[in-house]
Structure 1
Amino acid sequence: MALITLTSDIGQQDFLVSAVKGQLLQINPSFNIIDVTHQLSPFNYPQSAYVSRNAIKNFPDFTFHIVMVNLFERKPQQLLLAFHKNQYILCADNGLLTMILEEKPEMVIGLKLDSNAIKNTLYCAQIFGKTIKDISEGKSLLTIGEPDVPIIEKNHLRALLGDNWMEGQIIFIDNFENVIVNITRDDFEQQRRGRSFRIVFKRDEVIDKISESYADVSEGEKLALFNSAGYLEIAINKGNAAGLFGLQGYLEQTQNAYLQNRLFYQTVKVFFE
């Protein structure tokens, strides 16, 4: 029985998520499908990469991960099957794969599309489902599609570094409006080198210690901690950090004159002393 995770930016407002599952179950009724989320923001690659990466690494080896995000950013010529660190990832050829993995995949297979087919979301689900069925039945990856195809690559969003500072971008805001920054504990400690620090955001908000849990501060007080995925999180105990501080998720395409004055509120800076 194949274990499949399903992640998308489809939303839950209409029939499409259930129709995707229906297509998969028509191919093999024994598929075990687990939803990660269908509420990813459209066109937000950093957010999609963060969510997908940290879900994938918690599943058993040889799980199949279908990531249906920005499927039609351009006219699709192929879909992708990657095998990396004993996980299968199936997604569009739009650059998200290398952002999720933070490196090139160990193996990537191009899944050919029927030139006469109507290439919509359900057709992509059919291609993914048939691919998973073939692998589950023992078919060689090298015969399923075209091995080692050229793919679109995008670099994952990295924190900026200086001798005495680092600046991270807000890549996710969770249901409690806690703010996740693309600074990992390892990156933080490597840059810190035992020094004291100040985490600064929205010009005048400062945090100078790392908490272990929300309960380390009084109700309504701000704090910083490293979340279960190991990323820096700015939060308020029983409060909404993003809304209170006016913080927003970072978008790569917000590089225009109108939004330049808002970019500071999409970043968090750490100063070391």
Structure 2
Amino acid sequence: MPLLTLTSDFGMQDYLVGAVKGRLLQIDPSFNLIDVSHSISPFNYPQAAYICRNTIKQFPSHTFHLLLINLFEKRPEQLLLAWHREQYILCADNGLLTMILEEKPEMIIGLPLDPKAIKNTLYLTQVMGEAVQQLHTGAGLQDIGMPDVPFIEKNHLRPLFGENWMEGQIIFIDHFENIVVNITREQFEEHRKGRRFRIVFKRNEVIDKIAETYADVPEGEKLALFNAAGYLEIAINKGNAAGLFGLQGFTEQAQQHQSRLFYQTVKIHFG
């Protein structure tokens, strides 16, 4: 029974999520479909990469991950099927793949599209589902597509570093309006080198301790911790940090609006 995860930017307001599942089950009723999220913000690559990266690594080997995200940034000429760290990833050729993996995939093939087909969401789902079925029934990667095809690559969003500081971008705001920054515990400790630190955001808000849980501070107080995925998180115990502090997630469009950028970044000073 193949295990397939589904992640999309469709939302839940219309028929698409159900239609995608129906199309996949037409291909093979034994597919085991698992929803990750259908609430990825449109065109928000850093957010999509964060969610997908930290989901994929938790699944059993040989899981198929269907990423139906920003499928039509350009007219689709191929879909991508990657094999990396014992996981299969199927997605559009839009640059998201390398942002998720933070490196090039171990193996990649291009899934050809019928030039006569109407290339809508359900057709692309059909191509992905048929590729999964072929692999599950014994076909090799090179049997179902073109190996080592050229594909679009985008760099993942990296924090900035100086001798006594580091700066990260807000890549996700969760259901509780806690904010997640693209600084990992490993990066923090490596750059900290045992020094004292001050986490600064929104001009004058400062945190100088790392908590283990939200309950480490009184109700209504701000805190910083490293979440289950290992990323820096700023929160308020039983409060809404993003709304209260006016913080927003970093997007590519924000790079062109420097006046807004401060409220999408978090800086850490050492020493």
- Common topology (TM > 0.5): yes
- Number of the residue aligned with 1:211: 211
Measure how far apart 1:261 and its partner are: 1.5
Q: Following superposition of structure 1 onto structure 2, how do residues 73-88 of structure 1 map, counting pairs within 5 Å?
A: 73-88=73-88
Measure how far apart 1:260 and its partner are: 2.1
Residue 238 of structure 1 aligns to a residue whose secondary structure is: coil
Q: Does 1:128 align with 2:122?
A: no
Mapped partners of 1:250, 1:43: distance in 2: 11
- Number of the residue aligned with 1:171: 171
Which residue type is aligned with residue 147 of structure 1?
A: P
Which residue type is aligned with residue 5 of structure 1?
A: T
Residue 254 of structure 2 aligns to a residue whose secondary structure is: coil
Per-residue deviation, residues 181-228 of structure 1 (Å, max 9, x unmatched): 000000000110100000000000000010000010000000000000
Q: Following superposition of structure 1 onto structure 2, how do residues 82-161 of structure 1 map, counting pairs within 5 Å?
A: 82-161=82-161
Mapped partners of 1:75, 1:269: distance in 2: 39
Mapped partners of 1:107, 1:253: distance in 2: 31
Measure how far apart 1:93 and its partner are: 0.3
Mapped partners of 1:252, 1:167: distance in 2: 17
Point out where structure 2 has 5 or more consecutive residues left out of the alignment: none
- Number of the residue aligned with 1:261: 259
Q: Following superposition of structure 1 onto structure 2, how do residues 50-61 of structure 1 map, counting pairs within 5 Å?
A: 50-61=50-61
Residue 166 of structure 2 aligns to a residue whose secondary structure is: strand
- Number of the residue aligned with 2:64: 64
Matched pairs, number: 271
Runs of 4+ in 1 over 2 A off after TM superposition: none
Which residue type is aligned with residue 265 of structure 2?
A: T
The alignment-based identity, stated in percent, is 72
Residue 270 of structure 1 aligns to a residue whose secondary structure is: strand
- Number of the residue aligned with 2:183: 183
| TM-score for both structures, normalised by structure 2 | 0.99
Per-residue deviation, residues 162-193 of structure 1 (Å, max 9, x unmatched): 00000000000000000000000000001101
Asked if the contact 2:254/2:260 (under 8 Å) is kept, the reply is no
Per-residue deviation, residues 47-67 of structure 1 (Å, max 9, x unmatched): 000000000000000000000
Mapped partners of 2:255, 2:65: distance in 1: 32
Mapped partners of 1:69, 1:25: distance in 2: 20
Q: Following superposition of structure 1 onto structure 2, how do residues 9-28 of structure 1 map, counting pairs within 5 Å?
A: 9-28=9-28
